[in-house]
Amino acid sequence: MSHCLGFDLGTTNSCVSTMTSGMPSVIPIHGMRTVPSVVGYRAGLPPLVGSEARRQAIANAKNTISSSKRLIGRRFADAEVGRATKHLSYDVVQGPEGEALIRVPILQKEVSPIEVGSEILKYMRTDALRQLGEVEPDKKVPAVITCPAYFNNDQRRATEVAGQLAQMDIVRVISEPTAAALLYNYMHRDDKIKENDLFVVLDAGGGTYDVSVMECSGDGIYTVLATSGDGFLGGDDWDNALVDYLVDDIAGVVSHEQRKTDKAARAALAERIRQDPVLISRLKATAEDTKKQFTDKAAVDILLPSFIDGFSYRKTLTRKEFEMLTSFLVNRLIGPCKQALSDASLTPSSISKVLLVGGTTRSLALRRRVKDFFKREGLTTLNPDESVSLGAAVQGAILNKDVSNILLLDVAPLSLGLETLGGVFSPIIRRNSTIPTKKTQTFTTSEDNQRSVRIKIYQGEREIAAQNHFLGEFELEDLPPGPRGSLKIDISFEVDENGLIHVCAVDQNTGMKKSVKITNASLSAEAIAEMLRAAEENKDVDRRERELIDYEKELNSLVTGLSDALTEHRNLIGGVVAERCKKQVEVGRELLERIRDASRRALVNLSDVRACRDRIQKLTLELGQDLQGRRVKPRK
Active site residues: 8, 69, 176, 203
Question: For residue 599, which amino acid is it?
Answer: S
Closest CA to 334 of 344, 348, 352: 348
DSSP 231-290: TT-SHHHHHHHHHHHHHHHHHHHHHHHTT--SHHHHHHHHHHHHH-HHHHHHHHHHHHHH
Give me the helices (H) in 407-538, please: 525-537
Question: How many other CB atoms are there within 10 angstroms of residue 631's CB atom?
Answer: 10
Question: For residue 318, which amino acid is it?
Answer: T
Residue 229 pairs in a beta bridge with: 210
Q: What are phi and psi of 220, to 5 degrees?
A: 90, 5
Asked if 591 and 604 touch (Cβ cutoff 8 Å), the reply is yes
H or E stretch covering 615: helix 606-630
Q: What are phi and psi of 500, to 5 degrees?
A: -85, 150
Q: Give the Å distances, CA to CA, from 406 to 223, 356, 499.
A: 11, 21, 20
Asked if 457 and 132 touch (Cβ cutoff 8 Å), the reply is no
CA-only gyration radius of the chain, Å:
31
Residues 313 and 117: their CA atoms lie apart, in Å, by 35
Residues 559 and 584: their CA atoms lie apart, in Å, by 8
Number of H helices, E strands in the chain: 18, 28
Asked if 457 and 416 touch (Cβ cutoff 8 Å), the reply is yes
Residues 524 and 529: their CA atoms lie apart, in Å, by 9
Residues 450 and 507: their CA atoms lie apart, in Å, by 13
| Residues in Cβ contact with 381 at an 8 Å cutoff, skipping those fewer than 6 apart | 184
Question: For residue 589, which amino acid is it?
Answer: R
Asked if 555 and 591 touch (Cβ cutoff 8 Å), the reply is yes
Residues 72 and 66: their CA atoms lie apart, in Å, by 12
Termini Cα distance of the chain = 86
Asked if 90 and 103 touch (Cβ cutoff 8 Å), the reply is yes
Residues 351 and 506: their CA atoms lie apart, in Å, by 44
Q: What are phi and psi of 274, to 5 degrees?
A: -65, -30
What are the DSSP E strand ranges found in 50-176? 64-66, 91-94, 100-104, 109-111, 141-147, 168-175
Residues 141 and 1: their CA atoms lie apart, in Å, by 8
Strands of 91-94's sheet, edge to edge? 91-94, 100-104, 109-111
DSSP 475-493: EE--PPP--TT--EEEEEE
